[in-house]
Structures are given as C-alpha cells and as structure tokens.
Amino acid sequence: MGETSRMSKGTLAGKTAVITGSSRNIGKATALALAADGANIVVNGVQDQAAADTVVKEIEAMGGKAVAKLADVATKEGADALVQAAVDAFGGVDIMVVNASTRGQKSFLEMPHADFRRVVDTTIDSAFHLCQAAIPHMQKAGWGRVITIGGVSWYIGMPNRIHNLTGKSAIVGFTHGIASEFATQGITANCVSPGATETVRPASAGSGNPRNAMNIPMERQGDVKEMAATVRFLCQPDAAYITGQTIHVNGGLFYGT
C-alpha cells in the first residue's frame, strides 16, 4: 500500500489540523505526527517562510497534504488569517493545536512590562483568538479537538521566568473553560504539559543543563516526538471521552494530580 493510500485511510483522514509554531520543535513534530494519521495540516510560523515550507515538503513527501501560513497569532488579525488559510485550503478546521510560545529570562524586578506582556500575550491571547475563529467550524462539523501546550515550569516554580509561568498557568484555566463550555458539542479540549525537552531555542530563552538542574528521575530530557505523540493520542476518535485534562509528559519531574 502506498503512503498516500495509507494516509487517506488514517484515523484522522479528512480532518484538518492547524498547529501554531509548527515550523520547528514540538510544533513540527506534531504536524508530522498528525499528517501520518491522514490529517491535512496548516503549518504556521511568524517570520521564517523557508522553515514552514520545509515542513510542508516533508508532509507532502509522506503522501500528505499541507500548506504554510505565516501569521502572528497573538493578534486577532493573525489568528483569523491563519484559520482562513485552513478554510481556503481544506474547507474548515477540526483540530487546533495552540503551541506557539515565546520566552526569555529576566529577574522580576528588572523585567519591563512590555516583555511580560509579549510572553503572556503570545500564550493566552493567541489561544483566545484562535479558538474564537476555529470553534465555529468545529461546531458545524459536530467534532473538534483543542490542544493547548502548557509546561511543567509553573507547577514546580522557576526563577526569572514569571512571564512564562503566568502564561502557562493561564492556558490551563483557558483549556478548562473551553472543555466545559463545548463538552456537549463533540469538542474536547486538553492541555499537554511538557517537561524539559530537547528543542532548538534562541540564546535569549536561557541555557544550562535542565537534566541536572531539575533532577529528572529518568535522567534525560524529553524528545519532541514524545510530546507530539501525546497530542496525537488526544486527537484520536478513541480519545473522545477525555476533556479538560492536563497530561504531564516530563519523565517523572512532576507527578500531576
């Protein structure tokens, strides 16, 4: 059986997934994972068209369908444009993965409010605008998946990242709200909370050895494919009874309850 034929019969065949921040790292791994299950993919980044196009080509090489759309999803205009790109290319949106984030390190007393707002807005404003634009399409279909990407840092605390901790804590509450409001309409909402993960980040995001610094019981960082696999599971038809949950993927660093 050819790749195209196999993917056309995948568990997500005919579904369209929009994944923000999907030109690299967890977002890219998620795009490839959902494409492998037959979903149409809308790849998103902010500035790097070449990186987004590369992901599209990888998906097409697998026999899948994908388009790339650059947009700043922290703004309503950018979020609306991204969802519209999905509608134009594939007719709607079935899966929204709110993954895009930005972060840095700065002590609280030295942190400009503009830096705080930039990180929080990218995390929570993007979720607000994207879901307002995408959920009506899910309602029309009677089926939908909203997956937000949180993080272990706000559970365990971390110095010099109050902006990131604030955004990630807020995204959990947002996810609970979406889950409860649309539970009777075939739409689920869950949060995947990664621990320390091997990713490519700018120097401003911080350095150091997370494995040693945070004493991960498994004594290794996570792989982006492991995070993507959790998102992939939550998107499956078999996960229809799971909603409003935060799934921790952190090698035992934090035992969520």
Per-residue HEC secondary structure of the chain comes to: CCHHHHHHCCCCCCCEEEECCCCCHHHHHHHHHHHHCCCEEEEEECCCHHHHHHHHHHHHHCCCCEEEEECCCCCHHHHHHHHHHHHHHHCCCCEEEECCCCCCCCCHHHCCHHHHHHHHHHHHHHHHHHHHHHHHHHHHHCCEEEEEECCCHHHHCCCCCHHHHHHHHHHHHHHHHHHHHCHHHCEEEEEEEECCECCCCCHHHCCCCHHHHHCCCCCCCECHHHHHHHHHHHHCHHHCCCCCCEEEECCCCCCCC
**Cα distance between residue 242 and residue 231, in whole Å:** 12
Domain assignment present for 95? yes
pLDDT at position 194:
93
pLDDT at position 102:
81
Domain assignment present for 169? yes
Q: Which of 242, 243, 154 is nearest to 194 (CA)?
A: 154
pLDDT at position 214:
57
pLDDT tens digits for range 63-96: 999 999 999 999 999 999 999 999 999 999 999 9
Range of the domain at 34: 3-249
pLDDT at position 50:
97
Domain assignment present for 255? no
pLDDT tens digits for range 29-49: 999 999 999 999 999 999 999
Domain assignment present for 37? yes
pTM of the entire predicted model: 0.91
pLDDT at position 4:
60
Domain assignment present for 254? no
What total number of domains does the chain contain? 1
Domain assignment present for 214? yes
pLDDT at position 219:
83
pLDDT at position 84:
99
Domain assignment present for 78? yes
pLDDT at position 3:
58
Domain assignment present for 203? yes
Chain-centroid distance of CA 253 in Å reads 21
pLDDT at position 36:
98
Would you write out the chain's pLDDT as a tens digit for each of its 257 residues? 565 655 667 999 999 999 999 999 999 999 999 999 999 999 999 999 999 999 999 999 999 999 999 999 999 999 999 999 999 999 999 999 999 888 788 999 999 999 999 999 999 999 999 999 999 999 999 999 999 999 888 888 889 999 999 999 999 999 999 999 999 999 999 999 998 888 775 544 444 444 444 588 888 889 999 999 999 999 999 999 999 999 999 988 888 76
Q: The CATH number of the domain where 8 resides is what?
A: 3.40.50.720
pLDDT at position 45:
95
